[in-house]
Amino acid sequence: MLNARLDDRLVVFFDIDNTLYSASSNISHAMGQRIHAYFTGLGFPDDEASDLHHKYYTQYGLALRGLIRHHSVDPLDFDRKCDQSLPLEDMIKPDPALRQLFQDIDRTKCRVWALTNAYKPHAERVLRILQLDGLVDGLIYCDYAQPNFSCKPEREYYEQAMRTAHISDPSKILFVDDSRTNVLGARAVGWTRSVHFCERGLKAVEGGQPKVIGNDVTKDGDDVMEVSSLQQLRKVWKDIFKHSA
């Protein structure tokens, strides 16, 4: 821990879900179905469950946050019935090219962390399946066991991530996420080297609602960098990769 506090290397934060694996895995669809079932299991009719799911996701960043705040839901029960019930081993597989990308990052220049809005068991499970667990230095996650936990895109989440990773200079942070909202939230706290991973044209579920990725993206004059493949980070962040990569 002392070494981490004195470490002045850059920190690279990789989002996990729908970033380290493709949205074509349909994990967002499976998760959306489980969250909907959780709402209906609380007694809400289908239409109201769908409306609340989307409302809470939009308002709080996670539907779970609304369930906790307004319906006193046990977040660990939610995690067991939703995240932990996903058949991830049947839905995603290791990607040798992605592993190589991680291996080609120059660790004399950077520390590599995973960063997610999920709870720790889900995050660790995905990293293990993708065979990336030995290639990350740390994990930032939403601690469902703590009341009033923060999540992306809230400012507190990014500030807590910096404290956990022991980095005080936001200009030394690189970040990639499939959510443009999360990228903009990161940029608002000074993570200016944040990149939007956008698989335009693929279908996904967000807040319980189906969407075509990229159709809702409006630039509005911003200069957010967008990539459609993580391999493009080799050019976008060329200073962090080994010269032979």
Q: Where does 27-88 sit in CATH, by number?
A: 1.10.150.450
CA angle 23, 60, 32 (to 5 degrees): 35
Q: Give me the sign of the Cα torsion angle 63, 66, 72, 74.
A: positive
N residues, the chain: 245
| In contact, 213 and 203? CB cutoff 8 Å | yes
Strand partners, 175: 13, 194
pLDDT in tens, the chain (245 residues): 445 567 899 999 999 999 999 999 999 999 999 999 999 999 999 999 999 999 999 999 999 999 999 999 999 999 999 999 999 999 999 999 999 999 999 999 999 999 999 999 999 999 999 999 999 999 999 999 998 899 999 999 999 999 999 999 999 999 999 999 999 999 999 999 999 999 999 999 999 999 999 997 766 667 899 999 999 999 999 999 997 55
DSSP string, 165-233: HT---GGGEEEEES-HHHHHHHHHTT-TEEEEE--TT-EEEETTEEEETTTT---TT---EEESSGGGH
Q: Can you give the residue ranges of every domain in the chain?
A: 2-22+94-240, 27-88
CA–CA separation, 203 and 35 (whole Å) = 18
From the candidate CATH numbers 3.30.43.10, 3.40.50.1000, 3.20.20.20, 3.30.572.10, the one assigned to the domain spanning 2-22+94-240: 3.40.50.1000
| In contact, 88 and 126? CB cutoff 8 Å | yes
* Distance, C-alpha 196 to centroid of its chain: 11
Q: What is the pLDDT of residue 243?
A: 78
